[in-house]
Structure 1
């Protein structure tokens, strides 16, 4: 190992450092993953996405750490219309990496478990990966999105400037849940 002498501008061999690995205290780059969902107790799509996200992060964690990246996963239960507006929630479940949805196009289909939860019909997200549709995002899709976010070399896509409007599907879900809550209180 060498040490730079800042006063003379030359390098000098420092015997005490020979053969040692010196950790540089460089700041880690932070990768923020937000998992937004309606329900983890009943919804099979949310549960599967939660498990898949955990597995995907575990698989890439060592690589990310070794390359100076720190992963922060926020699991956010978007259980009110106010939270949906705060997070500009479009469909459940959603995975965002550094604020960017891993699948820009929102496609949905009937979700029986969320329908059972609120007592009404509810559509939840369908994931499209490699030309196929899935009710739960494949682990490979999540890993690919994480690696692209870190190593893709792409500038982040600018957030949509459009005004957020709570999707009708979510509005119906929250109204049905509120109606159930009122029935419980009475």
Structure 2
């Protein structure tokens, strides 16, 4: 079973993290938060965006980047960044990989990116667009990784409430 991981490096906006938490819950993805955070985990905006799913989310926190690395020494990490050399859809996401996103104001530190150039991926944008919203970026890249893993363990078909798809 695919068990993907989203890593947020020093996230600053609680609503973004709450929305990302909800996306992680809906996909069976673990969420990893690297401190310092720009908010409290108990923040109302975080819980409002994550709705009632936050309590059931598989979330891990780390005091800093070094703590994350020490606790996940074998992690295969992809770094989502506007500075990436590769398009996110060209990467081959393993079923247990980590996909890291940087803080809203500054992204992932360049020393981390420089040490991992082949795993830096970007979402294409036109012109001088600075970036997409963090929660949108997570959803785009995460769903590509899920697609590549066959949407393992996910519900692939919906149902109508009062009618059947076969009714005329």
Same fold (TM over 0.5): no
For the pair shown, the structure with the greater C-alpha radius of gyration is: 1
TM-score normalised by structure 1 residue count: 0.33
